[in-house]
Amino acid sequence: MLIESKSYEKEVEKLLNVRLTKREKELIRAAYDLAEIAHSGQYRDSGEEFFEHPKSVGLILAGLKMDVDTIIAGLLHDVVEDCGVSIDKIKDLFGIDVANIVSGVTKISNLKLNERLNEKDMKSLEKVETIRKMLFAMSEDIRVIIVKLADRLHNMRTLEFVDRKKQIAKADETLKIYAPIAHRLGIYKIKEELEDLSFRFLYPDTYFDLKTKIEEKLRLGQNRLDEYAQIIKQELDNQKIKAMVEGRSKHLYSIWDKMIRKGKTLDEIYDYIALRIITEDQNKCYAALGIIHSIWSPIPGRIKDYIATPKFNGYKSLHTTVITHKGDPLEIQIRDWKMHEEAEYGLAAHWVYKEGVSPEKLKFLNDLMELHRYIAQNAFELKDIETNLLSKEIFVFTPKGEIIHLPRGATPIDFAFAIHTEVGNHFSGAKVNSKLVPISHKLQTGDIVEILINRNFQGPSIDWLKYAQSPKTISKIKKYYRQKNEVELIERGRDKFRELSKKLNFSMDEILEKLKEIGFYIKYNIKSDEEFFIKLSLEDISINTIRNIFTLSEKEEEKMVPTVEKSISNRKGISVLVDGEEGVESYFAKCCMPVPGDEIIGVITRRGIGIHRKDCNNIQDIDESKKVTVEWNEYNQNKFSTVLLIDVESKNVLNNVRNVINNEGGHIEKFEMRNNSNYLNLRIYLSVQNLKHLSLLSNKLKNSKGVYSVRRV
């Protein structure tokens, strides 16, 4: 055992690329031995000893250049929950930091929920509660979530050994929760691998097909890429700029995601491969950019300076796309070695516990912690958590040139609270690019924002919530208002609840007791009836949510399948750009039911802008003056309704058709069947992600036994 732990300690030292002290080596060996003994006799689904998992987690953390305490915590992250080792023992042997990290990871998994919840609610609440606990732990020590990410990464690497149902559930959760967290931390090394592994297990056929095609394209294009790299390297050498020039392919998920979002084939995606230049310092980055533009012409609008204006997670690089002398578009990234290290391992993972923290980095970390604390406190559905983690960002400037990152759609009040709570509390107006704007004004990337302050102002109005987009802003406004008006909020919420109880013909006590029985208080993080009334008053909980619980039985609720008409009307919330603008009132036409990837056109009507497929028969004779240009905008998060006409040989084929649609992620909304003399005609209303998804489904159906034809209405 001593030989094995000593060998492990040397492997950790090699990955860290630093000399460990004698004490650090002793601690790593002691943690290794403790974990090996604790997990003795335990096995994974693959049949290997369970101890191989914490061993691998520790090495992943070493590869991320984490500190020794975090690596030790990775080795021990399962011993409390699975082996009965006490936190006190870990604290005595390895110190308070290791104990706190292990405790944080353990709390994420170790749930104790109300035993009276039914099985369906239990599963949903456990998942939300687990993620909320993870985010709370993350808001206290970033190392907790980095251990959890390493744990999830190794589990995803070995996911082939679990059953298909579990593969899909784990991969979906990883893609929606863990990969976005890695992205927010700037740990692209983990983010990209988590996304690719999720892609592989969610859509195996598509994954391996794309992988084969990309490998073939890389093989055929390698000589040309080497030629471009050599041209750049030669010119940089001539200008006495030391640099490494290397080719890289974007990871598979990002390529596939772009194909889906843009509705394009792989042949239409030209930036799946890029060159990366790593130089000595920031000045050399800009010099290298000038040299590249002197060799080849840049494509306008494709030059991005993430050094001057870093991404919200601290990512820095210069990006440009040029047209080479052979007519190829070529994407090039330029960064120095420090930027490269931070992009690979993440700001938080690389410097927080080992280097001096600059004010810029400290602000990034504090904002990140605050976001996760807000999500943990206020997200009650998985959708809420996903939305917050995946939210898009803009950046704006203070009059002194400081960069402030905000969620897309942010207003001046979000900017004010991002500067400081007191600035937000005394907000009295704003100037954007030197012009006065209303509180509802939507900020755009690059705006210069100045906040007007009134020190005599008594504090934020609850009406400001209508204009706030940032979780930080919403949280601070509610906190202030709640502290100042708690008694009033309780009474207002109680009055709303009293009115509801009269309409439902139940007493207030009966309703409260029922809500507690079904786990409502747990789900919405409510500690008392007074807090429940406050949440009602602040509309953190909708009165309609409670009304629905008492007006629909559980069986009736399960039978509530939306009709095609409802699912179409619900699509009003899907984002399209009308003449390049967001937020224009529009609806999707029922006659042609467009899905992302379709070429679309807008038609001006009294209801707003009707969105049609360009080949829709109903719009061919409409005057051109009534048509407007529209395009899809970030549609990959939504479902779209469409109709397929399928001719099959007999009813025996029906189950096969259903299985194909379900297996490929489609959802049947309505099913009609009609007999013809020689075959059976099916009219299937289904929801899909986009045109690419629909084409995949159609091709699978066409190749199914007993299916004569498949065509779209």
Q: Point out the residues that are catalytic.
A: 81-82
The three-class DSSP label of residue 476 is: helix
- Taking a C-beta distance cutoff of 8 angstroms, is the pair 425, 375 a contact? no
Closest listed residue to residue 468, CA positions, set 537, 535, 414, 427: 414
What are the Cα distances from residue 581, in Å, to 391, 405, 449, 628, 630? 19, 22, 22, 12, 9
- Taking a C-beta distance cutoff of 8 angstroms, is the pair 89, 70 a contact? no
DSSP state of 174: I
Q: Which are the contacts of 39, defined by CB distance < 8 A and separation ≥ 6? A: 49, 50, 51, 54, 78, 79, 82, 83
- 118 burial level (CB within 10 Å; 0-12, 13-18, 19+): exposed
The three-class DSSP label of residue 272 is: coil
Residue 171: how many other CB atoms lie within 10 Å: 21
- Taking a C-beta distance cutoff of 8 angstroms, is the pair 193, 234 a contact? no
Count CA atoms within 13 Å of residue 550 on its CB side. Answer: 20
What are the Cα distances from residue 670, in Å, to 641, 655, 665? 10, 15, 16
What are the Cα distances from residue 6, in Å, to 3, 58, 151, 234? 5, 14, 23, 46
- Taking a C-beta distance cutoff of 8 angstroms, is the pair 74, 60 a contact? yes
Strand pairing report for 586-588 and 608-613: parallel
Strand pairing report for 403-407 and 393-397: antiparallel
What are the Cα distances from residue 511, in Å, to 516, 545, 546, 547? 9, 13, 9, 10
The pair of structure tokens assigned to 1 is 């055992």
CA distance 277 to 293: 14
- Taking a C-beta distance cutoff of 8 angstroms, is the pair 232, 295 a contact? yes
- 185 burial level (CB within 10 Å; 0-12, 13-18, 19+): buried
The three-class DSSP label of residue 296 is: coil
CA distance 607 to 623: 17
Residue carrying the six token digits 């704007």 = 437
Considering only CA atoms, give the Rg of the chain.
Answer: 28
Residue 245: how many other CB atoms lie within 10 Å: 21
Q: What is the 3-state secondary structure (H, E, C) of 429-455?
A: EEEECCEEECCCCCCCCCCEEEEEECC
Closest listed residue to residue 601, CA positions, set 488, 610, 592, 305: 610
- Taking a C-beta distance cutoff of 8 angstroms, is the pair 340, 138 a contact? no
CA distance 624 to 374: 49
β-bridge mates for residue 275, sequence order = 247, 332
Kindly report the CA angle at 584 between 582 and 586, in degrees rounded to 5?
Answer: 120
What are the Cα distances from residue 618, in Å, to 96, 309, 622? 71, 47, 8
